[in-house]
Structures are given as structure tokens and as C-alpha cells.
Structure 1
Amino acid sequence: MTSAEDDIIKKRLLIEGDSGNEDRIINKLIKNFVKWTNSFYAENGILNEEENSENLYEQLVSSLGHAEFGLIRNQFIVEMNKNEQENYKMLYEKISNEIEKAKKKIIENKAELVEARKIRKNRQEYDVLAKQILNYPDRREMQETIKNLEAKVESLKKAECDYDRKIDLRRKQFSVVLQSLSSLKNLIESDTNIDEYLNQIEMHDDAHMSKSRIKKDQSPETNEEMDEDTKQETHTKRDKYSIPEVEMEES
């Protein structure tokens, strides 16, 4: 049954319901039935042609047919309404199921959206980190740089050991120098006594030289021996008060 036929039937039902056509058919059926029964008890047994028993019977059958048709039609309408209710119920259930599926799908899509946003955020962070990593040298260059730095560190450690050894040596040498300076200080403090002593030695030498010149003419050989003895004695006395030399270790 098409939608156009449904519209026609609905329109006719509305018209008949508004005009009370069903009640009229039933009333007409009852009226014809009463006329038909009364036709058997009519006075003098004489009836009009329009009111004879056969015509009344035909009218009664016609009214009964209309009533039966209306009943069958109403039954079909009721059945159709039931079918429509079932269809609407099934459609309602289908729509409800679709709504539930849509809700579940929406929840799943929300979860997927959250996951997609997370993945997008991770990708953006990855891109930023990748750009930062690209600014640095590659792994091989970094390893070469590390090896070179390690070699430099080892060289610096070796140089540090050498410098420590030299510093220790210089410390020892400086200690010796300090000791020498201390000895020199003591000698400087006694310079006055040494000068006086040397002056006395020179005066004694001068006197001795004068005596030697006087005796020169008498014995030249003896005088030369005495001069040698005097020089040797003077040298020995000066060595006694000389400053000791400090041995310095070369680096």
C-alpha cells in the first residue's frame, strides 16, 4: 500500500467519522429490519410496490452488506493500526538501538580524539626535539670529539704531573737557596770582624814585605822563599772566611 492510498483512506475515515456515517448505516439497517418484519403483519396484506417484502429484503441485505463492509473495514483498520504500532515499535527500538550505538560511537570517538590529540602533541614535541637534535653534530663526530678531548685530558694530566715534579724540585732548590741565604746573612753580619782581621793581615804583610826588602840585598833566595810562604799563608787565611758555593740542580 502506497503513501497516496494511505492518505486517501485516512481522509475518508476522517470524513466518515465527522459525519457519523457508521451510525447512519446501523440505524438504516435496524429500520429496514423493522420494516421487513412488519411487512408480514401489514393490514389487509396489501403493501406498496416500494414496500413489498422482496424490496424490503433487498434493502435489508444491502444495509447488512454495508454494515458488514464497515465492520470488515474497521477490522482491517484495527489490524492496520496494530501493524503500524508494531512497525512504530520496531522503528522505535531500531532508532533507540541506533541512538545507543551512536552514543557508544561518540564515546569511542571522544577517546580516539583524546588519543589523537595526545599523539599530535607527542609528534609536535618530537619535531621540536628532532630540530634541536639536528643542531648538534652527529654521533661519529661527537665520538671523535670525545676521543680528542680525552687525549687532551691525558696530555694535561701528564703535563700536570711534570709541573708537580718541577715544582717539587724548585721547592727543594728554593730550600737550599734559603739555607744559603741564611748562611750568607750570618757571614754578612760578621763582615766587620772579617774586615778588621783582613786589615790586620794586610798590615802584617806590609810589615813583613818591608822587612823582606831590607834583607833583599843580603840573601835574594831566602827572601823569595819567605815571600812564597807569606802569600800561601794569606791565601789560606782568606779561604777560611770565604762563602761556600751552593750546588744547584738543573731542571
Structure 2
Amino acid sequence: MADDEIIRKRLLLDGDGSGDEKRLVTFMKSFLKWCNNPNEDDASNSAFFERLLAMLATCQSTIAKNYLVYQMNKRELENYQVLNEDLTDRIKRAQEDICNLKEELQEAKRTRRHQQEYDALGKAIQQHPNKEETTKILTALESHSAVEKELDQELELRRKQLYVLVHAINQLKASLSENGQSKNETQQ
């Protein structure tokens, strides 16, 4: 095997890299050696046994520590899942809020556009006289029109009278001319 593969396998087996696997392998070899050599003296057996107990305690504390780390990681995973759900909910609410705010913005734009149109219409209306002034003007125009109509009728009457007068004058002249000629004829 290549060195990289060996290192990778050792790291996978070793866990966090604190030499747990090596410690367990050393404990197993020492235990098997102690079991296979029971003939040694009691003092060396006792010392070796004490060393085995110390190695076992170290392995047990490592196992306990790893179990606690596992439990902590499990709780952290649950916390992260809860946080993920919370963040997902917040994101959904934020997206809904954004959609609602976009609709409100469109409504505000529409309202503003209408307000501007109303203002423009108001300015155009302000340029024209109000109803009271318009009514006064119409009344004045109607009275002026009535006066003008009366004047037109009077003018027409005067024309007719003038026409009759001119006609009468022409007849009078014609009659005077005839009378004058008949006198001249009679005098001749």
C-alpha cells in the first residue's frame, strides 16, 4: 500500500488522532503477554498488573470521553436541525414579507401616480372659473343676449319704419312731382 493510503486508514481508525488505536493495540498485546506468562514472580506480576490497570483506565477514560463527544455531537446535530428549521421558516416568512412589501410598493406607486394625476387635474380645474363665477358669466351673457335680441328687434322695427318713411317720402315726391307737372301743364 502507498504511504498515503496507510496514513488515511490510520487516521480513520485513530479517530481524532490522539493514538487511541495504538493504545488499545498496546493494551491487548500487554494483556495477552501477561496472560501467557503466569510464571513470573509476584512483584513483577503486580507491577505489570498495575500497568495494565492504568492502561485500561486510560482506554476507559478515552472511551468515556469519546462517548461524551458523541453525545455532544448528537445534541449539536439536533440543535443544528432545529436551527435549520427555524432559519428555513424565517426565510419563508422573509420571502412572504418581501412579496407583501412588493405588493404594497406597487400599490403605493399606483396611489402616487393617481395622486399626481389628481393634482394635475386640480391645477387644470383651478385655471378655469368656479361654478359661481361661471353662472354669473352665463347669466350676464344671457342678459346681454336678451338685451342684444331686444336691440336687434328694435333695430329691425326702425328699419321697417325707415323703409315705410322712405317709401312714403318717395311717394310724396312722386305725387308732388306729378302735381307740379300737372300745374305746369295747366299753366301752359
| TM-score greater than 0.5 by the shorter chain | yes
2:186 paired residue number: 201
2:86 paired residue number: 94
Following superposition of structure 1 onto structure 2, how do residues 26-45 of structure 1 map, counting pairs within 5 Å? 26-40=24-38, 42=39
What code does the residue aligned with 2:153 have?
A: D
Tell me if the contact between 1:29 and 1:60 (Cα under 8 Å) persists in the aligned partners: yes
Q: Secondary structure at the match of 2:90?
A: helix
Deviation at 1:37, TM superposition (A): 1.5
Deviation at 1:150, TM superposition (A): 0.6
1:229 paired residue number: none
Query: 1:28 and 1:145, CA in 2 relative to 1: closer, same or farther beyond 3 A?
Result: closer
Following superposition of structure 1 onto structure 2, how do residues 73-152 of structure 1 map, counting pairs within 5 Å? 73-128=65-120, 143=132, 146-147=135-136, 149-152=138-141
Rg bigger for which structure? 1
What code does the residue aligned with 1:202 have?
A: Q
2:7 paired residue number: none
1:247 paired residue number: none
2:59 paired residue number: 67
Query: 1:199 and 1:86, CA in 2 relative to 1: closer, same or farther beyond 3 A?
Result: closer
1:154 paired residue number: 143
1:114, 1:77 → 2: CA distance?
54
Deviation at 1:114, TM superposition (A): 2.5
User: Over aligned residue pairs, what C-alpha RMSD do you find?
Assistant: 3.9
**Gaps in structure 2 of 5+ consecutive residues:** 1-13
1:200, 1:172 → 2: CA distance?
35
2:41 paired residue number: 47
Query: 1:100 and 1:64, CA in 2 relative to 1: closer, same or farther beyond 3 A?
Result: same
2:60, 2:187 → 1: CA distance?
182
Query: 1:19 and 1:75, CA in 2 relative to 1: closer, same or farther beyond 3 A?
Result: closer
What code does the residue aligned with 1:97 have?
A: D
Number of equivalenced pairs? 177
> 1:153-186 CA distances to partner (integer Å, 9 max, x unpaired)?
2243144134314404533652574477478669
What code does the residue aligned with 1:81 have?
A: N
> 1:114-148 CA distances to partner (integer Å, 9 max, x unpaired)?
333334444445555555666666x5xx6256336
Tell me if the contact between 1:35 and 1:56 (Cα under 8 Å) persists in the aligned partners: no
1:200, 1:111 → 2: CA distance?
113
Q: Secondary structure at the match of 1:83?
A: helix
Provide the TM-score with structure 2 as the length reference: 0.67
2:111, 2:184 → 1: CA distance?
106
Query: 1:127 and 1:159, CA in 2 relative to 1: closer, same or farther beyond 3 A?
Result: closer
Provide the TM-score with structure 1 as the length reference: 0.53
Deviation at 1:202, TM superposition (A): 2.2
